[in-house]
């Protein structure tokens, strides 16, 4: 068998790998865009399959596929078309999507890639010759019926992003929230010193500090939900410019309903197809929430890294599990590698947000945004790596980290900020004088206050009780 076969499109003949399910337009794009070697994310390929499946089901139900148009399909062909779409959605043909992500800005190349693969696979399923020049199940006339890349490719992006948030990101964030909340409860009896501005502050409990991190993750789950909400409107039904040429008036609504049944996610038809085709503001909003989640994860990981610093020459208030040797030259050194991994992912997502922002602001002219492939790919990357690193952080760090009560409590008594609780008794100015004298003398606030007899011993003991400083007092 020859290494190549000849396929034809409206521009003429193209040599295509002999066994490929894709055809001429896919091959042209492969040759035109030898840029990065990065194909579409599998999640986006699968979403394209789902969108084609929804469209085919709607066109079947509306009688369009089997109607009186050019080359109507019979029931067996329709069944094969639906099965081929399902197989793409299930990931069976990921290798048949070789086009670089940095391609035509509408995603036409990848939309036609999906149309060609689905069409040829459907022909094969009916016992036909998928290599033949005459296509009984045509990539444009049948697979792409009632559709344009301009509305269906962004629909696939929205579907992939919403599903990624639902199935990957939200569970990962909630998993970390659960662990941190449990640690907050378990560590609530451990007193430590606060460090506002990285300087000694008043006491708090280690559990209270962890509860702040847990709340950050709780808010991150809420932000992920808002990110998903921003992409629930689907452009399907707008076709070329938003006017809906060559499609049924009910197509967009029915496609959205079909995708709800497939995914369980409450997609809806776009309120305005001209906005939905032309602009990707929903993706910009969505990724802005992802950027905020990244900021939170960076902050939590960095704080845990600092709290675990040491073990002998820094804070060492938390003990992290040993994951790997930390140095090629210093024996016994172990580093907070899971924190560092999470911080790097967060930095990447923050950078990704700039790509999304520029693409959304500058890429939408008149009736079409021409930066869609990179916007879809970048958003899906952010979701994937945020979910991946959060799960890894839970499994290899958060679950096994332990408190170091001795290190936590060691510095509490020595903090000059202990004087803060004396303000209600002796006032701010006298308290400040006491703190400065304690600093000069090297004595603790308690030692100096006892020496000066500024309060009765019983009153002083109550005022300088570290536990009492961790809660409001009436």
User: For the chain, which domains are there?
Assistant: 4-145 (1.10.275.10), 153-232+275-408 (1.20.200.10), 413-470 (1.10.40.30)
> Residue written as tokens 């703190």?
435
Q: Residue ranges of the alpha helices (H) in 167-280?
A: 170-186, 206-229, 251-263, 273-278
CA distance 451 to 171: 56
Q: What is the pTM of this model?
A: 0.96
Catalytic residue among 211, 327, 411, 421: 327
SS3 13: strand
Quickly state the pLDDT bin for 341 (edges 50, 70, 90).
very high
d(CA 435, CA 438): 5
- pLDDT score for 364: 81
Contact 88, 52 (CB under 8 A): yes
For residue 68, pLDDT beyond 80: no
Average pLDDT for 2-13: 90
Residue 311, preceding bond cis, omega within 30 degrees?
yes
Q: Which pLDDT does position 409 carry in this prediction?
A: 93
Q: What is the pLDDT of residue 363?
A: 77
Instruction: Give 217's pLDDT tier (boundaries 50, 70, 90).
Output: very high
- 197 noted as active-site residue: yes
380-383, long-range: CB < 8 A, 24+ apart: 380/41, 380/43, 380/44, 380/160, 380/161, 380/164, 381/41, 381/348, 381/352, 382/287, 382/290, 382/294, 382/348, 382/349, 382/352, 382/353, 383/161, 383/164, 383/165, 383/168, 383/169, 383/290
In this predicted structure, the answer to whether residue 415 has a pLDDT above a threshold of 90 is yes
Q: Which residue has the tokens 């509860």?
A: 211
Residue in 37, 10, 39 with CA at minimum distance from that of residue 25: 10
Catalytic site residue 158? no
pLDDT of residue 69: 75
Q: What is the pLDDT of residues 70-113, one digit of tens each?
A: 789 999 999 999 999 999 999 999 999 999 999 999 999 999 99
> Residue 1: is its pLDDT beyond 60?
no
Give pLDDT, residue 368.
96
> With contact defined as beta carbons under 8 Å apart, do 224 and 293 qualify?
yes
Least confident of 200-204, 294-298, 340-344, 360-364: 360-364
What mean pLDDT is predicted for residues 6-13? 91
Indicate the pLDDT class of residue 474, thresholds 50, 70 and 90: confident
Residue 196 has pLDDT above 70, yes or no: yes
232-252 per-position pLDDT tens digit: 999 999 999 999 999 999 999
**For residue 128, what pLDDT is reported?**
95
How does pLDDT run across 299-335, given as a tens digit for each residue? 999 999 999 999 999 999 999 999 999 999 999 999 9
| % of the chain surpassing 70 pLDDT | 100
* 176 touches 398 (CB < 8 A): yes
Burial class (CB in 10 A: 0-12, 13-18, 19+), 322: exposed
pLDDT at 120 over 70: yes
Mean pLDDT of the chain: 96
The single residue of 36, 197, 211, 328 carrying the catalytic annotation is 197
Over 70: is that where the pLDDT of 255 sits? yes
Supply 5's token pair: 């076969």
């Amino acid at each position: 068998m020859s290494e190549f076969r000849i396929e034809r499109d409206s521009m003429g003949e193209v040599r295509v790998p002999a066994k490929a399910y894709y055809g001429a337009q896919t091959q042209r794009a492969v040759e035109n865009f030898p840029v990065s070697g990065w194909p579409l994310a599998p999640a986006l390929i699968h979403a394209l399959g789902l969108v084609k499946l929804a469209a085919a089901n709607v066109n079947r139900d509306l009688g369009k596929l089997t109607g009186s148009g050019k080359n109507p399909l019979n029931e067996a062909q329709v069944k094969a078309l639906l099965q081929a779409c399902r197989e793409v959605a299930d990931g069976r043909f990921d290798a048949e999507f070789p086009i670089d992500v940095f391609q035509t800005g509408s995603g036409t190349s990848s939309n036609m890639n999906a149309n060609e693969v689905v069409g040829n696979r459907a022909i094969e399923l009916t016992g036909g010759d998928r290599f033949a020049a005459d296509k009984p199940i045509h990539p444009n006339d049948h697979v792409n019926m009632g559709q344009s890349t301009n509305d269906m490719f962004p629909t696939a992006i929205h579907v992939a992003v919403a599903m990624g948030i639902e199935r990957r990101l939200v569970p990962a964030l909630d998993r970390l929230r659960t662990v941190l909340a449990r640690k907050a409860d378990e560590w609530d009896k451990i007193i430590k010193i606060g460090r506002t501005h990285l300087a000694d502050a008043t006491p708090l409990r280690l559990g209270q500090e962890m509860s702040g991190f847990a709340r950050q993750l709780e808010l991150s789950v809420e932000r992920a939900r808002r990110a998903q909400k921003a992409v629930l409107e689907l452009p399907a039904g707008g076709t070329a410019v938003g006017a809906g040429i060559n499609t049924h008036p009910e197509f967009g609504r029915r496609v959205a309903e079909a995708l709800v049944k497939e995914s369980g996610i409450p997609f809806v038809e776009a309120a305005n197809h001209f906005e939905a085709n032309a602009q990707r503001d929903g993706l910009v909003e969505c990724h802005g929430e992802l950027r905020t989640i990244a900021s939170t994860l960076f902050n939590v990981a960095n704080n845990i890294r600092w709290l675990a610093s040491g073990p002998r020459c820094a804070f060492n208030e938390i003990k992290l599990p040993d994951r790997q040797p930390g140095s090629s030259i210093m024996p016994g050194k172990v580093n907070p590698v899971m924190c560092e991994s999470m911080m790097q992912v967060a930095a990447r997502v923050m950078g990704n947000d700039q790509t999304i922002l520029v693409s959304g602001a500058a890429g939408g002219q008149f009736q079409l945004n021409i930066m869609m492939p990179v916007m879809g790919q970048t958003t899906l990357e952010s979701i994937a790596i945020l979910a991946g690193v959060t799960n890894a952080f839970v499994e290899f760090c958060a679950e096994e980290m332990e408190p170091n009560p001795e290190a936590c409590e060691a510095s509490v008594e020595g903090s000059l900020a202990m004087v803060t609780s004396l303000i209600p008794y002796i006032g701010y100015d006298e308290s400040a004088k006491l703190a400065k004298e304690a600093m000069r003398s090297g004595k603790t606030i308690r030692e100096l206050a006892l020496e000066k007899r500024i309060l009765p011993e019983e009153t002083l003991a109550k005022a300088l009780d570290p536990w009492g400083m961790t809660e409001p007092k009436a």
